[in-house]
Structure 1
Amino acid sequence: MSWLGAFLDALLGAVGCSLSFGTGCALRPTASFGWAVPIGVAIIAGISLMLGQWALLAINRVGRWRTLLTLATSGLGTLCTGVVEAGLVALLSWALLQDRVRLWVVLPAVLVAYAPYWLGFLVVLPYTGPGVARVLKVWHLLAMWLGLRPVLDMGGGYSLLIAAVAWLAQQGIDALIERAPMHLRERVFKLVSGSAGLTGRDLMSSARLGDHR
């Protein structure tokens, strides 16, 4: 239990550091607990984001165990997104500055920068939800920039450039996945939740069809 308490302290300390725009937030926890802290930050961020889509689970009548599986899958999905974003950071540091940075060196800082998404459950709020989502995205960018500064060790301006380009590239990848004909996210949601995969767009379309009758 003492190890668990120390781990929770390190986890919450890293999150608090990132939320308050601290620098080097991933360095000390990673030294104490290896990859457990940054991975934990990213997974909980993904779970919180799915909780922000609680209406999606409700309209699909997802059962208790399927809900837990869907939340876990969302956490792992956010972890994978963080790995891709860290890969973009490493690639950009080489492409822009000819400075080779290993993926596993920048990955902890990128994962801890997902701490703002711990507030992802607030996306469920009516009217303000979309605005909250935008704020969290920008907050993540700023947290990533400050987290990467001591890791990249190349000045605040270059670190901001690399973080911003990687962040924009990740937003582009998300948009492509969202609009791809394969509907990958909807397919994964259907598989994991065991539901018909109804979305808010489906309900709005049904409502418009009903109005025209």
Structure 2
Amino acid sequence: MTETALDRFWELIFGAIALNPKAFELIQTLPQSNRVALYTLLLAGFSQAIGQAIVLFVNRVKPIRFILSLLIASVLFAFSIGFWGLSTWLVSRILFDDNVSFGSVWSAMGLAYAPLIFSFFIALPYLGVPILVLLSIWTLLAFVIGLRVALDLSAWQAFWCVALGWVIFQILERTIGRPIAAIGKWLSNKAAGTQLVTDMRGLEQLLQTGPQISPGIYRTGNKAGNNTDKG
């Protein structure tokens, strides 16, 4: 029976976390490597969604919708990172090799996101931002190593492919990517069952207001109170 990348999933994950080039060599040769890349991105996205789940708590999202929101966030995360892979692939084709396959870049990029499986730690008070920065740099280094192995480039060539790919991705995200982002926001709101408040000022206001009481209950309470006073 042929061994697949899925059979060695956790070995590949821990190898990428350790920045071991052999892990990226393996994922380029084993079958089902693209699935491992996708599953790694989904895990990273789910972990990051857990780390940012305070937004769902503050918005008082119901338990079932809470889980659904985490799953939707994971898929949207993987989808958005895929566009970075696409832009990096285009840069590598233009600069170095017309025969570069997207699958090679995709598998390297997906596995490189293994460090972000720990991104649920960003929920820690005071330490969240430094941890996120550390994990982002860790992921960048893993992507450079993975791309260098996948495309047989020097470290600097791989770095510039990743960097230029990121710049193009940011430009596309702020232009033609806006309608896609709007769809993603709509899906997030649908999953949560409410119009999610995500800005800091809005979240602070939600925290200050506390649980909302419906107007009908409030009026009933007032009437009961008035009747008591009259009595």
TM-score after normalising by structure 1: 0.81
Question: Aligned equivalents of 1:50 and 1:104: distance in 2?
Answer: 26
Q: What CA deviation, in whole Å up to 9, does each residue of 1:49-91 have, x standing for no partner? A: 0000121111122222212221221221222123212111111
- Residue 12 of structure 1 aligns with which residue? 10
Aligned residues of 2:112 and 2:142 also touching (Cα < 8 A): yes
One-letter identity of the residue aligned with 2:186: R
Question: Aligned equivalents of 2:106 and 2:150: distance in 1?
Answer: 10
Note closer, same or farther for the CA distance 1:148–1:98 as it changes in structure 2 (3 Å cut). closer
Kindly indicate whether residue 135 of structure 2 is the aligned counterpart of residue 131 of structure 1: no
Aligned residues of 1:42 and 1:79 also touching (Cα < 8 A): yes
Kindly indicate whether residue 123 of structure 2 is the aligned counterpart of residue 121 of structure 1: no
Aligned residues of 2:12 and 2:23 also touching (Cα < 8 A): yes
Gapped runs of 5+ residues in structure 2?
Answer: 209-231
- Residue 153 of structure 2 aligns with which residue? 154
Question: Aligned equivalents of 2:173 and 2:120: distance in 1?
Answer: 19
- Structure 1 residue 177, shift from structure 2 partner: 9.5
Note closer, same or farther for the CA distance 1:115–1:174 as it changes in structure 2 (3 Å cut). farther
Gapped runs of 5+ residues in structure 1?
Answer: 209-213
Note closer, same or farther for the CA distance 1:174–1:128 as it changes in structure 2 (3 Å cut). farther
Q: What CA deviation, in whole Å up to 9, does each residue of 1:111-139 have, x standing for no partner? A: 11111110110111111212222222211
Question: Aligned equivalents of 1:177 and 1:53: distance in 2?
Answer: 26
Aligned residues of 2:5 and 2:33 also touching (Cα < 8 A): no
- Residue 109 of structure 2 aligns with which residue? 110
- Residue 198 of structure 2 aligns with which residue? 199
Task: Note the aligned Cα RMSD (angstroms).
Answer: 3.1
Note closer, same or farther for the CA distance 1:57–1:178 as it changes in structure 2 (3 Å cut). farther
One-letter identity of the residue aligned with 1:166: G
- Residue 143 of structure 2 aligns with which residue? 144
Aligned residues of 1:90 and 1:106 also touching (Cα < 8 A): yes
Q: Which has the larger radius of gyration?
A: 2
Note closer, same or farther for the CA distance 1:150–1:98 as it changes in structure 2 (3 Å cut). closer
- Residue 211 of structure 1 aligns with which residue? none
- Structure 1 residue 189, shift from structure 2 partner: 1.9
TM-score after normalising by structure 2: 0.75
The alignment partner of 2:21 has SS state of: coil
Question: Aligned equivalents of 2:163 and 2:152: distance in 1?
Answer: 16
